A and B are shown apart, each in its own frame.
Chain A
Amino acid sequence: MSAQWLRRNDVIPVLFGIACLLAFFVLIEILVASGKINPFIVPKPSEIVTSFGRIIADENVLSRFFVTCGEALAASLMLAVTGIGLGVLLHRLRLLRLATETWVAAMASAPLVLMYPLFLVLFGRSVWTVIMIGFVAALPPVVLKTLEGLSGTRAVLINVGRSFNLTPSQLYWKILFPSALPTIFVGVRLGMIFALINIVGVEFLINFGGLGQLVNELSERYDLPGTFAAICFVILVSVVFFMATERIERWLRPGT
């Protein structure tokens, strides 16, 4: 059984990936130890690893991890509902779409995180400021991808529906929506990445909440190994979300 498992083709790439990562760390370790890289800019990977215990014990990193996860989850749920809803709305109302599509696209590349003072005024120095910035910044890709998926539905599939005398709402839910789902998922994923980046960024900027604040504090204290260890936890949040969406996607979209 285990021999069979080892022989499976997907194990080799995973092992190779881990090996590359380790080799990279070893290289950095050597470069820092030999003084080629300034240890006050990049700490030794081994020091980062040993500081994990410290930041878990002293800095409450686990509860901060859950705070950031919770914020990202709340923003993602709002994103999925609102973003897909707006996408559907724009798809149905041609005038609205033609009028706003370019703006929405332009908004996607705007650094909305810099508008944090406005959000502070609106929501105070609370988790809602963090969540709302993550949410708003990540909205454009979800709206645009939903729109793209719906308008990309193959004409012949719509004709099949029409030939079976589907009502407009059946046409939407039984054909357009399932056909758009893969593209919508790409949008939601992109949106989650945007949201997480902005959430951690705002936490850092306003020095409030989860991992972003911790990164801020540790770097102010010039605790470089601690800073990098905290960043590892940010990456962990991203990995968790990525894996979760992959699961949900496989469950929602069988056959592809």
Chain B
Amino acid sequence: MTAVSLGMPRVYHGEGNIFETEAFPKYAAKELTNEQLRANLGFATHKIRTKREHVVGELPDWQGLRTAGSMIKQRVMANLPEYLEMFEKNFTAAGGHVHWARNAEEANQIALDLIRAEGVDEVIKIKSMATAETGLNEYLRENGVEAIETDLAEEIVQLADDRPSHILVPAIHFNRTQIRDIFLKKIDGVSVDLSNDPADLAEASRIRLRDKFLQSKVAVSGVNFGIAETGSLSIVESEGNGRMCLTLPDTLISFMGIEKLLPSFEDFEVFLQLLPRSSTGERMNPYTSLWTGVTPGDGPQNMHVILIDNGRTAVLDDEVGRQALHCIRCSACMNVCPVYERAGGHAYGSTYPGPIGAILSPQLGGIENEYNSSLPFASSLCGACYDACPVKINIPDVLVHLRGKAVDHEKAQGDFKGGKKDPHYQMDAMMFGAKQLFSSGKLMSLAEKGLPMSKLVTGKDHKISKFPGLVGGWTKYRDIPEPPKESFRNWWKKEAPKASRRDSSERVDIQALIEQNKGKVVEAHQQAEQRGQTIAHPAEEKEQ
């Protein structure tokens, strides 16, 4: 190939920890048998859910805020190159250094070089999704550098040699006793009678980390928001360990996905209202750090930011899917997700679990990846995530869009590994058959007259309790009622009065009727309330 290639630039997918490691249904099935995990997850997600609903309900302009957040992010995505250059200029002018990384490998390597230049073999870290995505800790370890996680939950997961299972509460899959056992095994000098009381556990962690904070020369962080107009960076956190990492060491290296920008300082205000309420269910988080470059004699004197693509421009390339880049990693979508609640975060393989993971991982890493292509199907499309998302990412729409891409890709492949037993084959066959049927009322009528299903599989008790093949998944947990003797369509043909053709000039004005009946929703609700149990659900439409 010649060096010069004209035409559209190629879209590069990312690498690192953005892949499902097994088909989701299989992984989830294993996780579902872990009773402890399900109990912990059920308890924790319900608790955060209630807190979130409460503080969100307090704000009269919550829907307006969501819209504002969504629009700001749309503006960023529409002008990303300009904002990135603006950010680079301002961050540099304030005394910082900007590095660009096309993928995970490049980002890790830049960080390693910077750490080596400081001559250290240990760094402290603030909880960060971006470094988890690039697999920085493992990379550094392979190259002789230890990265110490300082966020309590990340510390627990790291000491347990496990992976985080939740964006915000990485150790959500452990309970207190399990955490005590990890500490007893892994923290040197910890008292043998350490209790499982949260305060005691926190104290044990504090003692371990205090030395690290005071001795470390280099800290690595992620970034919640970068502000293009001023070149500032911000970290929003609860524990204060982040503040320690940001202020004590001499060198600070921040990993930032290119989508994390906000245009101006004013926009920051919107997100500081949206983020804490959506994530921890607090009105305001305890620690918000915001810094602009180097201040001589105060804080890190050596400041770096690594701007990471790792598949993000590929996401930006998809008109429907690009809204996934609006995500501010609040975790509200997973806290309300019934699938996440049961399968747990690990079942999603990637750094990004839950509904956002199901739309982000397959886009960052490509839907062509065999296991990632199972992620968009890991949803009942109930829509709870969309309602909860503070930046109004329409996750169900993107899921369906990606399902379309997954099916197109699978069809283009052509051959089925498992022959006629391959679920993809069975699915294709089923959808083809249903399409033929559903394309014509006449065919439907004929097919319904046969109703062969009932004759074949219904048992004596008028139920279908075992189905072969793909649909067997249904009868694993439920019966199917016996189909009726006659479909509605065929019954209507015999029974219905012959309707005459009518002219469209006779049409009733429906909008006028709706206008006239405006108060009826509230009236019906009141009538119902008078008759017994009061129910809290709002009777009126809520704004989306």
B partners with A: no
